[in-house]
């Protein structure tokens, strides 16, 4: 298959592009003109495109599938008004522009796999959440809803749409795990806030595996929760991580201190509770490589 990928230089994009290329697919990385040829993902070939307009450098480019992973990092910097605008525009407007480019293709791809997030559900305490659960009402939940609305417009173009709602992705190469590990390396790690909030995590290897499965199997469609089937409360997650690192977990981070340091982002990313299950993924028959946190961490820490 010929597969177009946006956001190819990010954590997920780099891993996915490599896996697709090794699997025999032809990968086309859509990148901004000023960054063409750059980034960490070296496999595949590059086509310059303008996310503001959707204009492709090669107007005749065709594809069997498209994976949309574009979006500024949620965790890089406090959520000021300007930062929130960037978080929204880099997802919603970029996806809108991508759909505009797909609409102009003479031969459209059969599937669009578009990134999303379990932030869709908001802070839900101990409630068990599946793809059928209602959306939340906070900033992140509303952002994700608008993001998904844009991606779903590909339905009208005759394109199968998969909305990949990412949980906390664990990888040694980047993302949340290295940041989680840092205080433990200095013996200062511990639970966050009450420690009762649920953490829905997934290993990067499974993220790549599920994305490939979604691309290659026409039966997969709609929203899918990209999380392990075994979410954990923060206190237990912290214990398992500390044990894997052979470090103590004696220094909890009070909620007020996290809010003081990070503002609104602390509640959304560190203190909110999302007990999410991958019901749609399990129904596809996909077999998780890492469903247990302790086993996953042995391969990462």
**Res. 299 pLDDT band, cuts 50 70 90:** confident
Q: What is the pLDDT of residue 41?
A: 47
Beta-bridge partners for 223? 163
The percent of residues above 70 in pLDDT, for the chain, comes to 95
What pLDDT is recorded for position 38?
46
Span 83-88, average pLDDT: 95
Q: What are phi and psi of 225, to 5 degrees?
A: -80, 115
CATH architecture of 2-172+201-228+276-290: 3-Layer(aba) Sandwich (3.40)
**Confidence (pLDDT) at 282:** 96
Does residue 141 register a pLDDT over 70? yes
For all residues of the chain together, what is the average pLDDT?
92
Rg (CA), the chain: 19
Q: Which pLDDT score, from 0 to 100, does residue 51 have?
A: 77
pLDDT over 80 (residue 73) = yes
User: What is the structure's pLDDT at 213?
Assistant: 96
d(CA 88, CA 143): 6
Domain locations in the chain as residue ranges: 2-172+201-228+276-290
Q: What is the pLDDT of residues 225-243, one digit of tens each?
A: 999 999 999 999 999 999 9
CB environment 104-141: b (16+ within 10 A), e (fewer): ebeebbebbbbbbbbbbbbbbeeeebebebeebebbbb
pLDDT tens track for 90-113: 999 999 999 999 998 888 999 999
pLDDT digits (tens, 9 = 90+) for 237-294: 999 999 999 999 889 999 999 999 899 999 999 999 999 999 999 999 999 999 999 9
126 vs 60, 134, 199, 230, CA distance in Å?
50, 15, 11, 14
Residue 20's H or E segment, with its range, is helix 11-22
Q: What is the pLDDT of residues 12-42, one digit of tens each?
A: 999 999 999 999 999 999 987 665 444 444 5
pLDDT digits (tens, 9 = 90+) for 156-179: 999 999 999 999 999 999 999 999
């Amino acid at each position: 298959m010929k597969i177009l990928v946006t956001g190819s230089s990010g954590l997920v994009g780099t891993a996915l592009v490599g896996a697709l290329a090794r699997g025999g697919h032809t990968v086309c990385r859509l990148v901004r003109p000023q960054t063409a040829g750059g980034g960490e993902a070296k496999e595949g070939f590059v086509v310059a495109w303008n996310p503001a307009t959707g204009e492709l450098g090669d107007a005749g480019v065709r594809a069997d599938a498209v994976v949309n992973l574009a979006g500024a990092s949620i965790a890089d910097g406090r959520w000021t008004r300007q930062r929130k605008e960037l978080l929204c525009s880099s997802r919603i407007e970029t996806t809108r522009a991508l759909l505009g480019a797909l609409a102009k293709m003479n031969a459209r791809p059969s599937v669009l796999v578009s990134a999303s997030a379990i932030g869709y559900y908001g802070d839900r305490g101990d409630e068990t959440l599946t793809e059928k659960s209602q959306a939340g009402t906070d900033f992140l939940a509303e952002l994700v809803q608008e993001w998904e609305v844009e991606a779903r417009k590909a339905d009208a173009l005759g394109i199968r749409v998969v909305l990949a709602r990412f949980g906390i992705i664990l990888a040694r190469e980047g993302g949340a795990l290295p940041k989680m590990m840092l205080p433990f390396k200095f013996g200062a790690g511990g639970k966050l806030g009450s420690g009762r909030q649920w953490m829905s995590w997934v290993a990067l290897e499974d993220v790549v595996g599920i994305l490939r499965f979604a691309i290659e199997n026409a039966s997969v469609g709609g929203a899918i929760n990209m999380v392990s089937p075994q979410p954990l409360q923060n206190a237990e997650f912290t214990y398992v991580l500390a044990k894997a690192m052979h470090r103590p977990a004696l220094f909890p981070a009070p909620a007020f201190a996290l809010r003081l340091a990070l503002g609104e982002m602390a509640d959304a990313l560190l203190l909110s509770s999302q007990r999410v299950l991958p019901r749609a993924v399990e129904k596809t028959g996909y077999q998780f490589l890492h469903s247990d946190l302790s086993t996953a961490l042995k391969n990462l820490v």
